[in-house]
Structure 1
Amino acid sequence: MQHWKRTTDIANRLFAQGELIDAREHYLQALALAQVLFERWHDVDQAVAAFVIAHHNLADLHVRLNQPHESADYLCAAHQRLLQASQEQRLPAALREAALRHSGRTYTELLNFIGEYGQYPRTERLLHRQAAEASELTARPDTFSRPSAYGIH
C-alpha cells in the first residue's frame, strides 16, 4: 500500500504542476497497483478506497485534459467493479461489504459528473442496467447484511 501511496503522491504533485502527461503515467501505475491490492490487501476498506481513488484521479485528470468521455469511462469502471465485487461469492464477505459501502461514493461521483458534463453512452448503459438490477434485487432476500453508512475516502 505504501508504494501505491507514493506513486499517487508523485502523480498528484505532477498534476498540480500542470505536468499532465507525466501525472497520467503515474496515475495509471497507481491504478495497476490498486487493482492488484484490491483482493489482496488485509485492510479491505483501504484496498477499496485505493481502487476508487485511483479511478477518480484519472477521471479528474481527463476532465482537465478536456476528455470527459474518458473521465466517464473511469468513473463507470470503478462503480461497476464495486457492484460486481459486492456480489461475487468467491470474495470474502468483508471485501464484498466494503465494495458495497464504497459504491455509494462512486455512484454519487458518477451522478455529479453527469450533472456537470451530461450523459455518455457508458454512463447511460451502466445506470440503466443498475436500475434494472436494483428492481430485481428488491425481489430477492439479502445475501449479507448492509451497513447503513458508507465509507469516507
Structure 2
Amino acid sequence: MARQKGDYIEGRDLMVFVDTPGGSGEPTWTKTAAATSHTISYSAETKERVTKDTENGAFSQKSVTKLSVSISVEALTTYQADCGFKSLLKMFKGRKPVKLKYGFTTDEGTEEYEEGLFVITSLEESSPADDDATYSATFENTGNVETKTGDA
C-alpha cells in the first residue's frame, strides 16, 4: 500500500543499510542485523560574531561553519549475521569509512533517503547472563551526506 501524505511512519519501517561490497562495483546494501533501534542526529558547528554594530551588544550573530551527521544502531546479537556485530567489528578494525544509507525498508521508488561515507566511532557488545546479547554502533560522517530519491 502506497504511503500517503499525513500517514504516520512506524520506526520499524526505517532501516540503516551498510554497503557490504560484493565485488561487482555496485553497492550491496545489507540491513544492520536484528536492529531494534536507530537514531540519526544532525548537528551544526557555528561561528559567532559580535560587532560594534550589533544592537546593544547583547546578541551575537551566528553562521554555520560545519555540518555533521551521526547514526547510532541498537540491535540484538545474532549468530553469523550478514551485517551484525562481528561484521561491524571487522569494518571497525579496518579503519576505513563505510557507506551507509538510512531510509525506508521497502521503497516505492520515490522515497528520500540519506547516503554517505561514515566511520565507525563506537562499537559495543553487551551479554548479560539473564537476557539477550545486544550490540550498539555509532557512525559519524566523513564528507557529504546526500539526500537521494529512489530505492532504499
TM-score (structure 2 length as normaliser): 0.22
Q: In proportion to residue count, which structure has more helix?
A: 1
Structure (1 or 2) with the larger CA radius of gyration: 2
TM-score (structure 1 length as normaliser): 0.22
